[in-house]
A and B are shown apart, each in its own frame.
Chain A
Amino acid sequence: MSDVERELRALADTIVVPEPPDVRAAVRTRIEADSPTTRAIRPPRPQWVAAILAALLAIGLAASPQARAAVAEVFRFAGVDVRWGSDADDAPVVPETPLPGADPTDLAGAREQAGFEIAVPSLLGEPDRVVVADDARVVSLLYNRAQHPVRLDEFDGSLEPVFAKTVAVTGVFAPVDGERGWWLPGPHTVHYVDRDGVVREETARLATSTLIWESGGVSYRLEADVSKAEAVRIAESLVR
């Protein structure tokens, strides 16, 4: 151990820290007030996801609110939890804030850090900014188009939720290269679900329409104020 390290440890011993509080009773009261629905989302079994997806597909994906409620409150697809509800209307409009541990970098830097291949839509070309977040779990390509800013989030894997969205409207099926895709029209709130499964409120932001799809074990989320057809075209132009 170096001198400075030794000195730091010695310094720590001289720091006065207040007595820790006894939070047992308060914590207990709060966790006992929890209803099962307010607990963190349990990762559903793949076959459960498949069953819900099949059910949604069977009812044409444009089911009435009653039918939707009967199917599920949370629908998971390509690493995104979609919650039906009116919360989207009440959600405060907050400016985009960085994801946890967000670090600006460039394409080469992101490719070095991420554990998966990063794809770039050839329709849009090189992004204006690249951000890696949460230990390169999410890589975001940002395009500062004056009229239509575009954000493409790419993340490894598909079953563990990375984003939670609250939408007031139902989504529609939007195949990308023949693979399953999901289109969520209009604004909705987005929360980031960190590695502990804790939904991080502070990263909530108001998103525009979003296309979600999965390809080759990587999940994609394209946020842009464009039509569904345009979003699918952008999605299909991805080059790894």
Chain B
Amino acid sequence: MTTEDDEAVRLARDGDPDAYEVLVARYTAPAHRLAYFLGAGGDVEDVVQDAFVKAYRALPRFRMGAPFRPWLLRIVANETKNAVRGRKRRAQLALRALDPRSVDDPYPRVAEAERRRVLLAGLRSLAGKDREILLCRYFLDLSEAETAMTLSLPVGTVKSRTSRALARLRDRLDVEVLDV
């Protein structure tokens, strides 16, 4: 956590809306990315907005000196899950919106595009818990500690679940290759 965060959090907690707006501006992009990857779909803007409002209300409980970003991301993750659950759509849809940007390439490298397709299919086929971890670690580039906080898990669980999810993904990729 940067010292600027510390200062902004302290001021926001004391009710300074300008200070909070600084935090909103700073963390809208990662919050939005997380909500999008976890499947917020068309609700993504509402989810981000609600998460920031909830986080503001929860600030009195924020432990000063702790990193703000993963604390906020946990609230975003919970909001996203609520939204997805609320509209009764399966989390499986989470990755449906993900489309590799292959259309930009006038001469698509077929093998690479195929590999990406296989990888995405593998990622989609994983159980939600496994997929969430991989999305946080590799798509959002969160550290193990940040992932743990975001998904409300112990760090040990993040470590073990990451390697298990990677192993499962590898297995599926092998099967895909054999199937071709």
Q: For A196, give its contact among B61, B116, B170 (CB under 8 Å).
A: B61
Question: Distance (Å) between the CB of A100 and the closest chain B CB?
Answer: 6
Question: Distance (Å) between the CB of B35 and the closest chain A CB?
Answer: 10
How many residues of A are in contact with the other chain, CB < 8 A? 42
Q: In the complex the two chains form, what is the Cα distance from A15 to B31 in whole Å?
A: 16
Question: Distance (Å) between the CB of B59 and the closest chain A CB?
Answer: 7
How many residues of B are in contact with the other chain, CB < 8 A? 54
Contact B139 A200 (CB under 8 A): no
**Whose C-beta in chain B lies nearest to the C-beta of A39?**
B57
Contact A28 B48 (CB under 8 A): no
Chain A residues numbered 20-49 whose CB sits less than 8 Å from any CB in chain B: 20-24, 26-28, 30-32, 34, 38-43
B53 at the binding interface (Cβ < 8 Å)? yes
Interface Cβ pair total, 8 Å cutoff: 130
Contact B138 A8 (CB under 8 A): yes
Q: A23-B24, A39-B57 are in contact. Are A8 and B134 (CB under 8 A)?
A: yes
Q: A31-B20, A32-B17 are in contact. Are A11 and B58 (CB under 8 A)?
A: no
Q: For A23, give its contact among B49, B59, B85, B154 (CB under 8 Å).
A: B49
Contact A4 B99 (CB under 8 A): no
A14 at the binding interface (Cβ < 8 Å)? yes
Contacts of B49 in A (CB 8 A): 21, 23, 26-27, 30
A residues bordering B, Cβ < 8 Å? 2, 4-5, 7-9, 11-12, 14-18, 20-24, 26-28, 30-32, 34, 38-43, 100-101, 134-135, 194-198, 200, 202
B residues bordering A, Cβ < 8 Å? 17, 20-21, 24-25, 28-29, 31-33, 36-37, 44-45, 48-49, 52-62, 71, 74-75, 78, 82, 85, 98-102, 115-116, 119-120, 123, 134, 138-139, 141, 152-154, 166, 169-170, 173
